[in-house]
Amino acid sequence: MAVFEFDDPVTLAMRYLNRFYPGRVAREEPDYDKYDKDALLILVRDGGGSGEYAYQLQDVRLTFEVRSGSQREAAQVANRVDALVRDWTYREGGVYYRGGFSRPLYQPEPDRRIPAYLWTVNLAFRGHPLTI
């Protein structure tokens, strides 16, 4: 019986979205002194999930946040990123969109009031057989 291992889902999502928004996708906010609040920033965070099921699949929740100095740009990019995530299943094998918990919701970054949209999706990723 084979054992399956899983790639980090945040890394996979960042790699996928960087094809469309090079250099704008991150796991966490840049250091305060290097952060341009007017620049487009797409954050991808691990939101948990129920983990392994059906022996070779992993249930994952990813949370996306799109920030920009322009509320209009933040809204447009958030809707586009949401569409790209929903379409990921058809662009790469081993990725399965299982639904969203909400649509991109306007939630300005609390401290600096930067326009931002936030939402969480449920995905499944196929693992890779591990040979020991």
- Specify the CATH superfamily of domain 3-130: Phage tail protein-like (3.30.2000.10)
pLDDT tens digits, residue range 65-89? 999 999 999 999 999 999 999 999 9
Closest by CA position to 62, among listed 100, 90, 88: 100
Distance CA 70, CA 116 (A): 9
Delimit the domains of the chain by residue range. Answer: 3-130
Q: What is the pLDDT of residue 86?
A: 97
Distance CA 53, CA 118 (A): 27
Q: What is the pLDDT of residue 1?
A: 63
What mean pLDDT is reported for the chain? Answer: 92
CB count, 10 Å around CB of 120? 16
DSSP 16-60: HHHTTSTT-EESSPPPGGG--TTS-EEEEEE----EEETTTEEEE
Low-confidence ranges of the chain (pLDDT < 70): 1
Q: What is the pLDDT of residue 78?
A: 98
